[in-house]
Structure formats: structure tokens, C-alpha cells
Amino acid sequence: GQNIDQPTEMTATEGAIVQINCTYQTSGFNGLFWYQQHAGEAPTFLSYNVLDGLEEKGRFSSFLSRSKGYSYLLLKELQMKDSASYLCAVTPGGYQKVTFGTGTKLQVIP
Amino acid sequence: GAVVSQHPSRVICKSGTSVKIECRSLDFQATTMFWYRQFPKQSLMLMATSNEGSKATYEQGVEKDKFLINHASLTLSTLTVTSAHPEDSSFYICSARDGTSGKAFFGQGTRLTVV
């Protein structure tokens, strides 16, 4: 089975840095996704980590440790528009279904 | 970047009618496509997984005769909601997985309202 945990809600200040953690326990692992979802909209792709380490893409970075079953999404220089839900998702071995966590609702305040 | 196009974005239909939703990967071949539904303020719920040329695998509790999925090509999957009822009103979202990179991208979603 798959079990993915991430905090339900977080609040951070505009201009600050926030780290959203995700831990997972899965039968097999082929990659971990992070998506951003604004209310009423479909998720948008942020990152896909297959190997251990940090991948940086502009203000967003994603880290993966396969041995620890752990990932985080780092958002720098927070902007008000970053207020959204951030979804962690894992795919087991092979191109099978992608299993989502419940998402972390991030609120950015002035 | 990879684009997944989903149509229609919004649809209102009468109870008892059927609605077809299309999901296309525009610039990559999608070996696998996923269909989700999402109720307000709730998580994505996977309905089914489809691989090109084979029958879809439905999640427990999802009626395969009510939610017909066809994945006829590597760039197109359709979801047909048959004999729709008001309780089927929801946000339906498709996701297509790039067979080369392994990355999965979402369509824009379809907001279905059954009256």
C-alpha cells in the first residue's frame, strides 16, 4: 500500500522562505511529484524527483531522500500568489498510478 | 513544456443524459492516463487508470459502467459519464503520464453540473 503524509496547513509571510515536508511509505518507488493547486483549478506540475538530492527551479526547490522516504518543497521569496495547496505524490515501480497526499494548504500573509 | 488539454472546461447537463470529457496530450505520448474527481475543499480522488489500447483499471467503489473510459491512442483518453445524476456534479481532472520522462501533467479540469 501507499501512505503519504504532509502537513494540512501552513502559514508564512510574504518574502520569507517556507519548507513543506512530505514523508511516504510505499511498496516500490519510481519517483515523487510536487504539484501546486489553486482553489477551483487543476494542479500544475512543479517538480519530479527520481534520484536523491536537491533540484532547484527558480524560487522553488525540491529535495528527495529515498532511504528516509522523505521529500520537501522549498519556496523562496514568497509571494501572495503562492497561496495554494501543494500536493506531494508518489509513483511506485513502473509507470503505475500516482498516489497523492492530502495536500498542504499554504497561506501567505503580508 | 508539456501540455495536456482537457475539454470541455465546464458543462451543464440534464439528469439522465451522458457527458463526454476529452483529455489530450499535445506534445508527448501518454502511455498512461489517469482520471480524478475532486469535491470542493477535498483531495483528488483517483477514479481510474488507463493504458493505451487496454481496458481501464477502476478504483474500488467507482462504477465502470457509469464512468466509461476509452484510451484509444497515445494522445487521447475520454471519460463518459453515463446517465448523469446531480450527485455526479464534481470537478473531473485528467492527468497524462509522459512515457519517456515519467512526468505526469494535468489537464485544466472539467466542472460538471448535473441539473
Q: What is the pLDDT of residues B76-96, one digit of tens each?
A: 999 999 999 999 999 999 999
- Phi, psi at A101, each rounded to 5°: -75, 180
Check if A69 contacts B (Cβ < 8 Å): no
Cβ atoms of A97 and A91 within 8 Å: the answer is yes
Closest CA to A64 of A53, A73, A74: A53
**pLDDT for residue A55 is more than 90:** yes
**pLDDT for residue A62 is more than 90:** yes
Check if A95 contacts B (Cβ < 8 Å): yes
User: pLDDT tens across A20-37, in order?
Assistant: 999 999 888 889 999 999
Rounded average pLDDT over A6-33? 94
Cβ atoms of B7 and B78 within 8 Å: the answer is no
* Interface contact A33-B99, CB threshold 8 A: no
* Interface contact B49-A103, CB threshold 8 A: no
Q: Positive or negative, the Cα torsion across B97, B11, B8, B70?
A: positive
How many CB atoms neighbour CB A92 within 10 A? Answer: 16
* Interface contact B46-A97, CB threshold 8 A: yes
Rounded average pLDDT over B46-68? 91
Within a 13 Å sphere around the CA of A67, how many CA atoms are in the beta-carbon half? Answer: 2
Rounded average pLDDT over B60-72? 93
Check if A57 contacts B (Cβ < 8 Å): no
With a pLDDT cut of 70, the percent of chain A lying above it is 95
State CA A44 to chain mean position distance. 11
pLDDT given at position A92: 79
Strands, DSSP E only, in chain B? 4-7, 10-13, 19-25, 30-38, 45-51, 57-58, 67-73, 76-81, 90-98, 104-106, 110-114
The length of chain B is 115
**pLDDT for residue A93 is more than 70:** no
Determine which of A22-31, A62-71, A80-89 has the lowest per-residue pLDDT on average: A22-31
When the pLDDT of each residue in chain B is averaged and rounded to a whole number, the result is 93
* Interface contact A42-B32, CB threshold 8 A: no
Q: Greater confidence, A40 or A93?
A: A40
CA distance A45 to chain B (A): 6
pLDDT band at A1 (very low <50, low <70, confident <90, very high): low
| Closest residue on chain B to A45 (Cα) | B105
| Closest residue on chain B to A104 (Cα) | B43
**pLDDT for residue A95 is more than 70:** no
* Interface contact B106-A33, CB threshold 8 A: no
pLDDT band at A69 (very low <50, low <70, confident <90, very high): very high
Cα angle B78-B105-B34, degrees, rounded to a multiple of 5: 40
Q: In DSSP terms, which residues pair with A16 in a beta bridge? A: none
pLDDT given at position A74: 98
Q: Is B86 helix (H, G, I), strand (E, B) or coil?
A: helix
**pLDDT for residue B52 is more than 90:** no
Cβ atoms of A74 and A62 within 8 Å: the answer is yes
* Interface contact A98-B95, CB threshold 8 A: yes
pLDDT band at A94 (very low <50, low <70, confident <90, very high): low
How many CB atoms neighbour CB A31 within 10 A? Answer: 21
For residue A42, give the nearest of B49, B103, B106 by CB distance: B106
